[in-house]
Amino acid sequence: MTAALQVRNLSAEYSTSTGVVRAVHDVSFELRRGETLGLIGESGCGKTTIGQALLNNLEAPGRIAGGQVMLGDIDLLSLSGKALRRTRWDRIAMVPQSAMHALNPVYRVGDQIAEAIELHTSATHQAALARARELLDMVGVDPGRARDYPHQFSGGMRQRVAIAMALSCEPEVLICDEATTGLDVLTEAQVIGALRDMQRAFELSIIMISHDLHMIGRVSDRIAIMYAGRLVEVAPAEDVRTDPRHPYTQGLLSAVPALTAEPQHLEPIPGLVPDLRHLPPGCRFAPRCPFAIDECDHDIPPLIETVPGAQGDRRLVACIRDGDLVGKQSA
């Protein structure tokens, strides 16, 4: 089975007045066909930059510094101009964090969805508009509201509109960047429900970007954990919950309360996320890591295959102490 999306050695950086900041460093992963891959990390770790880079839509002062984003045998990052415009949205689309800001306030939502269809197909405006209404209906929005403007929708309804817009050209890959952040839990559940239905209907492969471990844990098949611009662990969602390998993942889990468990003691990760301009030379998590040894400061640990967990699927971790620590993590 081929991957829906293959990301190889992706790096992205921002030029700032105080120098170049590499927000995404040598990130590689694959998105399997039909799966939901969660991408999780703290604010500023490079999640959103990855999302934009996957669409080759990083705006200045941001810049892709290297790598490949393979959609089948096309490298999206090598495309530009018309070829890029044609491929993007047709095969890979995005649901943005805040549809409030991602929808143009002066145009009707139906027209905004139809615009994408018209640009990618030979459909007339009427046909595109009819399709837009169908899409709205599919994601649970009254098709009659195609004539409404973005400000007339509630937060949850707006996210559904954004989903309909992302699906307008029936893409293979959908990137959801904090697509449910800021919604109340009920609305979040509804929006995720709509996404799941669409995943089945369109055979979508989805990348869910979020900082919300609970939500990601519920919806993802596999989870990639990011820290300071690098991936530190990639594993099946269930393995991440029951058997986290990387010390950062362990810290992340013990810092988040479980809804179902007994009242428990939460352990915050000591220290702060490093400044991307002044990174430690070796492992970026080493200064905050309870298991760090001197060697951790020497080289950047590569993301390599490790012993599979209970799920039996292959898993990757970027920690030189991985072998020593198996079975020793704080429970």
Partner 1 sequence: MLGRLLGGRMLQYVMLIVVILVLNFMLPRAMPGTPLAFLAGEDVGLMTTEQREEVMAQHGLDRPLPHQFARYMGNLLQGDFGYSFQQRRPITDILMERLPWTLLLAGANLVLTTIIGVLVGAVAAWRRGGRADAGLLATFVFMAAMPSFWIGMILVAVFAAQLGWFPVYGAYSTYAGLTGWERIVDIGRHLVLPLTSLVFISVSSVFFTMRYSMLSVLREDYISMARAKGVPERLVKYRHAMRNALLPVLTIFMLNLGFIFSGAVVIETVFAYPGIGRLLFQAVLTRDYPVLQATFLLITMTVIIANIVADLLYPLFDPRVRVR
Q: Which residues bind partner 1 (CB under 8 A)?
A: 52, 55, 57, 59, 85-86, 88-90, 93-94, 96, 98, 101-106, 115-116, 119-120, 149, 151-152, 165
List the 222-227 sheet strands across, edge first. Answer: 92-95, 173-177, 205-210, 36-40, 222-227, 230-236, 315-317, 304-306
Q: Which is nearer to partner 1, 2 or 154 (CB)?
A: 154
Q: How far is the CB of 87 from partner 1 (least distance, A)?
A: 9
Cβ atoms of 285 and 227 closer than 8 Å = yes
Q: Which is nearer to partner 1, 116 or 319 (CB)?
A: 116
Q: How far is the CB of 261 from partner 1 (least distance, A)?
A: 37
3-state secondary structure 43-95: CCCCHHHHHHHHCCCCCCCEEEEEEEEEECCEEHHHCCHHHHHHHECCCEEEE
Among residues 236, 233, 256, 253, the alpha carbon closest in space to that of 245 is found at 233
Q: How far is the CB of 224 from partner 1 (least distance, A)?
A: 22
Q: How far is the CB of 113 from partner 1 (least distance, A)?
A: 9
By CB neighbour count within 10 A (0-12 exposed, 13-18 middle, 19+ buried), where does 260 fall? Answer: exposed
Q: Which is nearer to partner 1, 18 or 260 (CB)?
A: 18
Q: How many CA atoms lie within 13 A of 3 on its CB side?
A: 16
Q: Which is nearer to partner 1, 5 or 316 (CB)?
A: 5
Q: Which is nearer to partner 1, 104 or 330 (CB)?
A: 104
3-state secondary structure of 163: helix
Q: How far is the CB of 16 from partner 1 (least distance, A)?
A: 14
